[in-house]
Amino acid sequence: MSTNNPFEIARQQIDACAQILKLESHVHEFLRNPMFEVHVSFPVRMDDGSTKIFQGFRVQYNDAKGPTKGGIRFHPEETIDTVRALAAWMTWKCALVDLPLGGGKGGVICNAKEMSKAELERLSRGYIRSVYQFIGPDKDVPAPDVYTNPAIMAWMMDEYSKIAGKNKFGVITGKPICLGGSLGRGDATARGGMYTIREAAKVLGLELKGATIAIQGFGNAGNYAASLARDLFGCKIVAVCDSKGGAYCQQGIDHDGVCQFKAETSSVVDCPKTERISNEDLLEMDVDILIPAALENVITEKNAPNIKAKIVAELSNGPTTPEADEILHEKGIHVIPDFLCNAGGVTVSYFEMVQNLYMYAWDEATVHERLDKKMTLAYHSVLKTSKSLGINMRKAAYVVAVQRVVEAMKLRGWV
């Protein structure tokens, strides 16, 4: 049954996995709910002298494998169910790439776009004061997410350190480089996705040099995906789009040119030497690789029969509905599921935690090498499970991840 509630979707995915794994009922029930969540209200002094009360959340879904890890969102439509779902997905994502971490997520209901820099700083510090006792380098480590960034992470780390009475750089990841951030974090999500695309191409016998790619979404992940696919593999990006529409060029889009055009006009639409296309048309283009890198639920049972790509690499969270998943699987389209494809971000965030812990920074080549190893091992563990059980890649990814979490819970004597 279809639902728009992200936490119900997350639970449906767990239910399906529990059936495949034949989990005991008490283990299944434990995995359907977060272990801990906190709701906070805190005051922030606004620039006009008024005081506004903000609502926030932090969810620690499961910490059987280690401290929880996950971003903080500043969004006007943030809900506790969204945060619960994202915390659940972070749990499986960390387990899938075999990190010694659990899954968490946080959020504040606010419109960051309408707030000044000073108001955002006071909001960030206020949130940390509210959740201070529930987070820490060995308990729960936040990171940037929607409408948060390295500058906000720096304020949060500083506030936590002030309360602790000592520097605690490891409490937050995604920090500026000079405050313990990691080299290679900026493009980590897209780069990790590229490593999984490379492995999938080997399995399918697809030559990546000259392979055509369409990218739905030209934000941070989509932009990096375009440049990395070109620079690492010699792929040809033939279509990109944003919320206003898309741009198409059969000979290949000039990445630098489209970036400059978007910076000047705030959209890729009508970029020189391209044709205008719709977001819907982009998804159904006859390309080798389709990269959804924007919104959730864009590939549905309605358009899935028209998808022509050989590989669908999900850089965004939840772009494919469960019904569409089955259709793509039946069509023989190779889907690299979101919490495998986009796990590069949390992997390099984990590397940042490690570097903070022993106060030694790695060079960028080391970060890339270790990210490559993690993503490649994760991809092949999912592929092997998919083939051995005769299930699609997403279900296989869940099986691998949930098995690892359940094993940790059983070894700890929880269940």
Last residue of a domain, one of 311, 341, 371: 341
Whether 194 and 327 share a structural domain:
yes
- Give this prediction's pTM: 0.94
Whether 231 and 269 share a structural domain:
yes
Burial class (CB in 10 A: 0-12, 13-18, 19+), 376: middle
CATH number at residue 204: 3.40.50.720
Whether 214 and 296 share a structural domain:
yes
pLDDT, tens digit, for every residue of 227-268? 999 999 999 999 999 989 999 999 999 999 999 999 999 899
Our separate counts of H helices and E strands in the chain read: 14, 12
C-alpha closest to that of 121 among 148, 141, 100: 148
Last residue of a domain, one of 341, 370, 405: 341
pLDDT band, residue 73 (cuts 50/70/90): very high
> What secondary structure letter does DSSP report for 123?
H
The domain total for the chain is 2
C-alpha closest to that of 34 among 79, 72, 81, 77: 81
Q: Is 64 helix (H, G, I), strand (E, B) or coil?
A: coil
pLDDT band, residue 2 (cuts 50/70/90): low
Average pLDDT over residues 287-311: 94
Whether 218 and 329 share a structural domain:
yes
What is the structure's pLDDT at 146?
86
Helix (H) or strand (E) segment spanning residue 366: helix 364-389
Helix (H) or strand (E) segment spanning residue 105: strand 102-109
Q: Are 87 and 34 in contact (CB under 8 A)?
A: yes
- Tokens 């159904």 — which residue? 284
Structural domain including 335 reads 188-341
Any idea what the Cα angle at residue 196 is, between residues 408 and 173, rounded to 5°?
A: 60
- Tokens 């094993």 — which residue? 407
What is the structure's pLDDT at 220?
85
Whether 155 and 229 share a structural domain:
no
Q: Could you give the residue numbers annotated as active site?
A: 105
Whether 265 and 335 share a structural domain:
yes
pLDDT, tens digit, for every residue of 128-174? 999 999 999 999 999 999 899 999 999 999 999 999 999 999 999 99
Q: Are 130 and 145 in contact (CB under 8 A)?
A: no
Whether 62 and 131 share a structural domain:
yes
